[in-house]
Every structure is written in C-alpha cells, then in structure tokens.
C-alpha cells in the first residue's frame, strides 16, 4: 500500500489535495504542475520538426481524406470529452439527429430513431493521429435525405465536423480514463449547424468549445514550416496577406511568390536539417519584409499578417484552414493540435 494513499483517504479532501500536490499523483495535480512549470505565459518551443508523413498515415482511407482536403475548415479548441465512447456511434447518431430535428422545428417533439429528412453519421477517421497513443479521430456528417435522388443513398452533405488529436499525447499529461482528449475540432458548414451540434456535444460530453484564432506569430511559423516541406510538384503559389488598419476601409496587402522562389529563400536561411527554429522563422520573414520594402517602401513588419497560403495548406487568422497536400496532412494537424492544446490548458 502506498503510504500517502492511506493517509489521503482518511483525511478530508483539502488535506489530501495538498498531499497529492506534493506527491503529484493524480491527473488534476499533474495538470496543475504542468501549469506551474510553464514559466512564461507563452510556452512556444524555440524549435519544431519539419512536417513528415507517418506510418499511421498509410492507414487513412483515401475516400475519407477526400472529405478533409481542399475544404475550408473553421477550427476550434475543445476540452476533453467526458465519458465519450467509440462504440456508441450508432446511439449518438440517433440522439443527435433527433436533437437537430427537434431544434429545427421548435416546440414539436420528435421520437428518437424516427425517420427524419436528415441523417447523422458518426465514423472513425482511421489513421488520423500522430502516434498509437493519440485517441482516434472521428468524423460527424449531417446529410440531407432528398426524395428525388434515391440512387444517391448518401444524400447531400449539409455539414461536416471532425475531432482529432495528432501528437497531442506528449503535450497532454492529464489523461484520465473518463476523458477522451481530442483538442482540435474542425467544422465545415453553416455556422448555425456548428453551434447546434457543438451545443449538443457540450451538453452530452461536458466539454467546451472555443474558436481557435491563429495569431500572426503562429502564421509566420506556418509559413516557414510549410515552405520547408519537400513537394513533388507545387499546386499553388505561396501567398501572404497583410492587413493595415486604416479608415474608412482597412487596406489589405497581398504578396505572392512563386513557391520555388520561396523554397529557395528558405533553403538559404535554413541551417538545422529536419528542424525549424525561431531564428530561422524570423529571418525568413525579415527577408520577405526587406524585399518588399526595397520595392514598395512599406514596412510590412508594422502591419498585421492575416493569411498565409502555400501548396501544403492555407490558414487565416480568424481560425480557418484549408489543407491541400495529402502528404502533410498529419504535419499540419500536429501544429494545429499544439495550438489547440495550448488554448485549453
């Protein structure tokens, strides 16, 4: 028997809390310790790996990936889901579709399991995770069942949302068995549907969503990391958007570069193989700034970076991302997971 446990169980909670704090045994205490360890308010590591594919990525169903790529997702951070179970997807589908139906026709009661003109599908996103220890991602789709297109059994997709955690486990020290930690939530579809479905998740699994804005600082990191990715062929130009706050309308500056030029610039500032450091990111952006200044006499560093788009992915400061490259799906999600975890911690 652990001596602290036997003491803790007999004394009051507050007492045991203090002991636990000293011993650091429970998830709650681990969580607290990690909070206290973060000596600065922004725990951004000074270096990150350049995104690579993982073996797990091979497992991803190509049809499912089709859903995820080339779509604009609004990203949210999400606290751990309480008592969520991957084996209950059928039940969740029934409940959520009844809930949506009831909400849409305010005041009219509906029977759970009844046939509505919408269909909710919960399904696993096999392989969308960084390590085996990450909980598996899952997808929620809302389909409309239209009578006319009987042959299309699937119907039209009204709304899609997915929950994932990629390389999150190393950052999350506080996993308790009652909770499933999927800190990143991505939604595509009408905002009203997102709020409806998000509300249902909040009530059912006692979790809490909040929109995940991406700061200019993180956008610069994304720009650097995504430029650093090796591509077989480039699908889009590398483009940056800056916003200048001035009246009556704010001024947007767009800066497009040929992706190979961007890569060449990156290679010139890049030193440590396989890694991206804070200095390199700063240097990369400074080069872009000075180039722009030479031509247009505008200090971009005094404006605000609001959007970055590359052949790998694009991201907007409002918390919208679009992933273009299948190969780096996991890499992009890993960074987003990191941001989401920082938000929820």
In terms of CB distance, is 185 or 292 closer to other proteins?
A: 185
CB 222 within 8 A of CB 335: yes
CB 330 within 8 A of CB 205: no
In terms of CB distance, is 83 or 258 closer to other proteins?
A: 83
Nearest to 125 by CA among 168, 164, 166, 80: 164
CB 329 within 8 A of CB 323: yes
Min dist CB 136 to other proteins, Å, is 15
CB 189 within 8 A of CB 144: no
CB 306 within 8 A of CB 319: no
Residue 191: how many CB atoms within 10 A of its CB? 10
Burial readout 308-344 (b: 16 or more C-beta within 10 A, e: otherwise): bbbbbbbbbbebbbbbbbeebbbbbbbbbbbbbbbbb
Q: Which of 87, 132, 148, 247 binds other proteins (CB under 8 A)?
A: 87
97 phi, psi to nearest 5 deg: -70, -40
Q: Which of 108, 147, 254, 295 binds other proteins (CB under 8 A)?
A: 108
Binding segment for other proteins (CB under 8 A), chosen from 128-136, 193-201, 218-226, 234-242, is 193-201
Min dist CB 163 to other proteins, Å, is 15
CB 127 within 8 A of CB 59: yes
144 phi, psi to nearest 5 deg: -95, 140
For other proteins, what does the binding mask look like between residues 47 and 86, x meaning CB under 8 A? Answer: -----------------------------xx-xx-xxxx-
For other proteins, what does the binding mask look like between residues 146 and 185, x meaning CB under 8 A? Answer: ----------------------------x-x-xx------
Min dist CB 206 to other proteins, Å, is 5
Min dist CB 100 to other proteins, Å, is 9
> Rule CB under 8 A: which of 229-268 touch other proteins?
none
In terms of CB distance, is 123 or 204 closer to other proteins?
A: 204
In terms of CB distance, is 280 or 338 closer to other proteins?
A: 338
Q: Which of 95, 121, 157, 287 binds other proteins (CB under 8 A)?
A: 95
Q: Is 269 in the site for other proteins (CB under 8 A)?
A: no
Min dist CB 168 to other proteins, Å, is 14
Largest CA-CA distance found in the chain, in angstroms, rounded: 74
């Amino acid at each position: 028997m652990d001596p602290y446990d036997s003491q803790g169980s007999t004394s009051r909670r507050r007492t045991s809390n203090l002991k636990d704090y000293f011993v650091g045994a429970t998830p709650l205490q681990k969580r607290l310790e990690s909070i206290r360890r973060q000596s600065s308010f922004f725990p951004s590591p000074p270096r990150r790996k350049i995104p690579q594919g993982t073996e797990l990525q091979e497992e991803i169903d190509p049809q499912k990936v089709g859903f995820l790529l080339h779509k604009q997702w609004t990203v949210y951070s999400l606290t751990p889901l309480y008592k969520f179970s991957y084996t209950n997807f059928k039940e969740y589908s029934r409940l959520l579709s009844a809930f949506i139906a009831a909400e849409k026709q305010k005041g009219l009661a509906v029977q759970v399991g009844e046939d509505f003109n919408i269909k909710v599908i919960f399904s696993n996103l096999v392989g969308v995770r960084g390590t085996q220890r990450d909980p598996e991602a899952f997808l929620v789709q809302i389909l409309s069942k239209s009578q006319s297109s009987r042959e299309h059994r699937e119907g039209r997709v009204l709304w899609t949302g997915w929950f994932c955690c990629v390389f999150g486990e190393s950052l999350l020290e506080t996993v308790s068995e009652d909770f499933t930690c999927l800190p990143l939530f991505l939604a595509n579809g009408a905002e009203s549907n997102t709020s409806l479905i998000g509300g249902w998740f909040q009530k059912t699994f006692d979790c809490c969503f909040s929109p995940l804005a991406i700061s200019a600082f993180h956008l610069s990191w994304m720009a650097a990391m995504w430029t650093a990715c090796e591509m077989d062929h480039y699908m889009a130009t590398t483009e940056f958007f800056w916003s200048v706050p001035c009246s009556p309308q704010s001024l947007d500056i767009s800066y497009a570069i040929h992706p190979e030029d961007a890569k060449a610039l990156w290679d010139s500032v890049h030193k440590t193989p396989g890694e991206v450091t804070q200095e390199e990111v700063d240097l990369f952006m400074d080069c872009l700034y000075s180039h722009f200044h030479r031509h247009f006499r505008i200090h971009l560093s005094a404006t605000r970076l609001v959007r970055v788009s590359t052949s790998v992915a694009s991201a907007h400061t409002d918390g919208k991302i679009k992933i273009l490259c299948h190969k780096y799906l996991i890499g992009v999600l890993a960074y987003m997971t990191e941001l989401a975890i920082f938000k929820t911690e």
